[in-house]
Amino acid sequence: MTEIFGVPTQALFGQLLIGLINGSFYALLSLGLAVIFGLLNIINFTHGAQYMLGAFCAYLLLNKLGVGYWWSLAAAPLIVGALGMLIERLMLKHLYKLDHLYGLLLTFGLALIIQGVFRNEYGSSGQPYPIPQELAGGHNLGFMFLPNYRAWVIAVSLVVCIATWFVIERTKLGSYLRAATENPALVQAFGINVPRMITLTYGFGVALAAFGGVMAAPIYQVSPQMGADLIIVVFAVVVIGGMGSIMGSILTGFGLGVIEGLTKVFYPEASNTVIFIIMAIVLLIKPAGLFGTQK
């Protein structure tokens, strides 16, 4: 058994793979946050709760309506995204003219409400959600046993992240969005319905969170608190990556997941805090974030 720095390679690769899986969730969620913040300048604290809603949606669809995982992958983001758009129309849009901090406080309050309602109904221990039959089981890779579902998570996240980046940075629709953030009045003068675009963008960001939730349901248990602690790590990821940069969030999400996995092998006590320590260092050296531009 070969060893690197006193750690067997088997353990190393195993934790790296787990890190990559965690990184997929970080990337998916920070992508949604970055889209919402980068294009709308809103800090969506409700993101964690919306991730949880996606997971619960999948759970309820399965248990109340018999709708399986594959349909939920499409249905849950649509449902939760629609709810998100409702929130934007009814509440968030009144706050755009105020200090951005109010947006943060409103979404924080909404997160409390959503989490509280579900905790009331379901308690804080998780509900089980089965891994879909087609993805059950796994393969022995030699250095570890990799469950198929976890490999699926990595693959899908990569695809979704790259697709989103492509749409925003390389298509006409994306350019309208980016222009609308820079100068909404001017873009509106060109006849583009800016408020509707903003609503749709918020809905899309929320849908990304919900999608992450459905992906998480089979492995992480569906529990009302599942988004609460995750969201703060995702904030740190977005700050490190650069608040407005889409590619930055994706790369940082995956990268930090891997770093966290490595820390678990070499120095497990620090695994919870390593991301925040990196954030502190990045802030000292490059306050705008690794890929961000000073606004």
Q: Which residues of this chain interact with another protein, rule CB under 8 A?
A: 8, 10-11, 14-15, 18, 21, 43, 91, 94-95, 99-102, 104-106, 108-117, 119-120, 123-126, 128, 131, 138, 140, 144-145, 147, 149-150, 219-221, 223, 225-226, 232-233, 235-236, 238-239, 243, 261, 264, 268-269, 272-273, 276-277, 279-280, 283-284, 287
Q: How far is the CB of 14 from another protein (least distance, A)?
A: 5
Over its C-alpha atoms, the chain yields an Rg (Å, rounded) of 19
Residue placing its CB nearer to another protein in the complex, 43 or 198:
43
Residue placing its CB nearer to another protein in the complex, 41 or 188:
41
Q: How far is the CB of 241 from another protein (least distance, A)?
A: 12
Residue placing its CB nearer to another protein in the complex, 149 or 254:
149
Q: Are 22 and 260 in contact (CB under 8 A)?
A: yes
Q: Are 157 and 15 in contact (CB under 8 A)?
A: no
Q: How far is the CB of 236 from another protein (least distance, A)?
A: 5
Residue 7 pairs in a beta bridge with 4
Residue placing its CB nearer to another protein in the complex, 187 or 209:
209
CA distance 226 to 126: 9
Which amino acid is it at 19?
G
Residue placing its CB nearer to another protein in the complex, 110 or 187:
110
Q: How far is the CB of 109 from another protein (least distance, A)?
A: 3
Q: Are 35 and 246 in contact (CB under 8 A)?
A: yes
Distances (CA, A) of 69 to 57, 142, 220: 11, 29, 15
Q: How far is the CB of 122 from another protein (least distance, A)?
A: 9
The residue assigned the tokens 């949606």 is 57
Residue placing its CB nearer to another protein in the complex, 130 or 166:
130
Q: How far is the CB of 157 from another protein (least distance, A)?
A: 16
Q: Are 278 and 235 in contact (CB under 8 A)?
A: no
Q: How far is the CB of 194 from another protein (least distance, A)?
A: 22
- CB burial string 102-123: b at 16+ within 10 A, e below: ebeebbeebbeebbeebeeeee
Q: How far is the CB of 134 from another protein (least distance, A)?
A: 15
Residue placing its CB nearer to another protein in the complex, 186 or 287:
287
Distances (CA, A) of 45 to 7, 29, 32, 149, 233: 38, 12, 11, 29, 12
Give 247-281 as a DSSP string.
Answer: HHHHHHHHHHHHHHHHHHHH-GGGTTTHHHHHHHH
Residue placing its CB nearer to another protein in the complex, 126 or 174:
126
